[in-house]
Amino acid sequence: MGVVAHNETNAAHPRYMDRGELSRPDLEALADRSAHELLGVSADDAFCMLDRGELDGKAAEWHLLALRRLLDASR
């Protein structure tokens, strides 16, 4: 399971900081905010870029892989 570093994105979810849990809607919102901050696109577009290999070797690749893993685990 990936760990998301404490930053201003996590600070928006203080109720989950103690338990280390995020609901699926919160994870989806985090993925969308992260995609916009990192790439200027939606999470759906960012995951498509990831699948096409456009993010290989970039920091965004690892961040999105971790978010995808968390989203998959929340099903």
Q: Whole-structure pTM over 0.75, yes or no?
A: no
pLDDT class for 4, splitting at 50, 70, 90? very low
User: What residue numbers bound the domain in which 18 lies?
Assistant: 8-73
Domain membership of residue 34 (yes or no) is yes
Residue 36 lies in a domain: yes
Number of domains in the chain: 1
Residue 3 falls inside a structural domain: no
Query: Residue 72: is its pLDDT beyond 90?
Result: yes
> Considering the domain boundaries, does residue 52 fall inside one?
yes
Buried b (16+ CB within 10 A) or exposed e, 3-24: ebeeeeeeeebeeeeeeeebee
